[in-house]
Amino acid sequence: MVSDPQRGQRGQRGTIGSGGGSGASDQTGPEDCKPQSDEAHSAFTPPLGVPYPPLPEDEHPTSEFELPAGLRPEVPAEQEGSAFTPPSSTTGQTPLPAPVGATAMSAFTPPHGIPAVSLTKEAPWQDRMRTMLRMPVHERPVPERLERGEEDTGPAVPRVLDLTLRIGEILLAGGEGAEDVEAAMFGVAHAYGLERVEPTVTFTLLSISYQPSLVDDPVTASRTVRRRGVDYNRLSAVFRLVDDITSDGITLEEAYRGLAEIRRNRHPYPSWALTVASGLLSGAASMLVGGTMLVFFAAAVGSMLGDRLAWLASGRGLPEFYQFVVAAMPPAAVGVAFGLAHLNVQASAVITGGLFALIPGRALVAGVHDGLTGYYITAAARLLEVGYLIVGIVVGVLSVLYIGLQLNPGLRRLNPEEALGAYNEPLVQITASMLLALAFCVLLQQERHTVAFATLNGGVAWVVYGALRYVAEINPVPATAIAAGLVGLFGQLLSRYRYASALPYVTAAIGPLLPGSATYFGLLNFAQGHLPEGLTSLVQAASLALAIAVGVNLGAEVARLFLRAPGVEEAGGRRAAKRTRGF
């Protein structure tokens, strides 16, 4: 066997490997790939004098598992997802069938991920957050946020939860609906990076729970609302603060400073202005039912006396029930005094005007709204509060009426049927309705730039009601519901235009529609011993009150129905509670 000295020399320049391995390192060149012995000589080795073929550009040895040329590569594996996500379809495989009744949008997370919801200021934050609240937790989109660096971990979770609860407390104490309070809390938490949050709102308790991940323990905080106050100026300021947090991305320290400034702000109207507004409200309400100028001033004086007595009771720490009792007595006493003096004055209009200033229409609308949106515990508590306040009004008025009827059983001027059934003066009533709405704006401590819109909205409400009631001769209940629906629609549109709460534009405007006359007529029948007639009148008053609340809520929902909110199409539509079918 003839040896090849050149082959031996090339063998000496071979790689120095370990353990007799035949693989070459990455540093081997074309001349280093010759075998070291005849046994290792490959049949594919080129003869002497024939150049070696060029190596691949990457100069890496190929793996025996490499896919041959011409075959289609496999689909890359997807990231690990939920255990309830169906496997995606691969080559030659049939996807697993979805469960019965499940849809592609609502049952599972799509393979490409959940679409993001833009949090830019292209729509009010109420709509953006309400859309996410009405979705199941596993389908909520992740909002777009700026990427943080490794050192920037965001604000501390306890501070964010504390700020969220403080904002929710002001909104709930100001009379905002439970759904809007939850939407505000949800928006604030999301704006500061807390995605897995669940706010909960009841009548007096707010709580929020945050879970960092599926394996971490949740962090829960709560806060109790112990005092309630009507201040729509503060309510609007909180709405602007939430809008700055969710849209402009202000820091946590700036949000705390803004909240402290809101708490330090004084009411826009002093206490004496509230007393004058209470008198103006009662006087305007008496003109709605046919009162003269003398009746106007009498109702105003009685209402202002009742307001001062209520302030005195509040300063002594008496519960709100007794405040309503003492506030209802002076207007009734003035009316009974006119009746006993046999003056040619409509005493019933004086008492009816005083009732307009006391009927808790704001709490009634909020309670019905919570019930229609699925917050039944909060709705039941609000309606129970309304019931207690109405009982307080009944006790105060009935006490005075009973004393007056004992002194003179033939008090005919306390019967409101004659004045209420015959009086129909559009110009006087429209003017009175706008004055009534204006007085309500002052009592609710609204911002000055919202007073004109709310006053005009109240005039429109009475025009619609009067046209349906006196011209078209429609029943008062549907006429009231339609007028209240327009109030809710216009209020919602105005709030969207100004990125504010709808309450300042709605609550004062429904004042002319409140069932003051029906309530008074029912109480008078009770005092006279006519129980069936009294129950009929009170049922009619309750029907009118519910028509107002349902109409306002329906008008607001109609506004949201036709105005698009961002992310709704991608997220599967605007969600609501499913209908219960008896099981």
| Average pLDDT value for the chain | 75
> What is the amino acid identity at position 149?
G
Report the pLDDT value the prediction gives residue 153, as an integer from 0 to 100: 55
Is 337's pLDDT higher than 80?
yes
Over residues 147-204, the pLDDT tens digits come to: 444 444 556 889 999 999 999 999 998 888 888 899 899 889 988 888 788 899 988 8
440-499 pLDDT, tens per residue?
Answer: 999 998 988 899 999 999 999 999 998 998 888 899 899 999 999 999 899 888 887 777
**Positive/negative CA dihedral, 516, 517, 518, 524:** positive
Would the pLDDT of 110 be above 60? no
Arithmetic mean of pLDDT, 65-81: 54
Q: Which residue has the tokens 């009405």?
A: 134
Q: What is the mean pLDDT of residues 377-381?
A: 90
Helices (H), 174-231: 178-191
What's the pLDDT score for residue 65?
Answer: 55
Q: How many CA atoms lie within 13 A of 302 on its CB side?
A: 35
pLDDT of 454: 92
Does the pLDDT at position 206 exceed 90? yes
As given in the structure block, the two tokens for residue 163 are 């700020």
First-to-last alpha carbon distance for the chain, in angstroms, is 96
pLDDT at residue 25 in the model: 44
pLDDT in tens, 524-560: 788 777 888 888 888 888 888 889 988 988 888 887 7
CA atoms of 353 and 303, how far apart (whole Å): 8
Q: Tens digits of per-residue pLDDT, 408-447?
A: 766 655 665 544 455 678 888 999 999 999 999 999 989 8
- According to the model, what pLDDT value does residue 284 have? 92
23-32, 250-259, 280-289: which has the minimum mean pLDDT? Answer: 23-32
Q: How far apart are CA 480 and CA 466, in angstroms?
A: 9
- Higher pLDDT: 275 or 24? It is 275
Pick the range with the lowest mean pLDDT from 106-120, 226-240, 323-337: 106-120
Beta strand 219-224 with 197-201 is unpaired
Residues 407 and 295: their CA atoms lie apart, in Å, by 22
Specify the higher pLDDT residue, 549 or 516: 549
Residue 221: helix, strand or coil by DSSP? strand
Provide mean pLDDT across the span 514-531.
81
Query: Is residue 289 predicted with pLDDT exceeding 70?
Result: yes
Q: Rounded to whole angstroms, how far apart are CA atoms 64 and 539?
A: 88
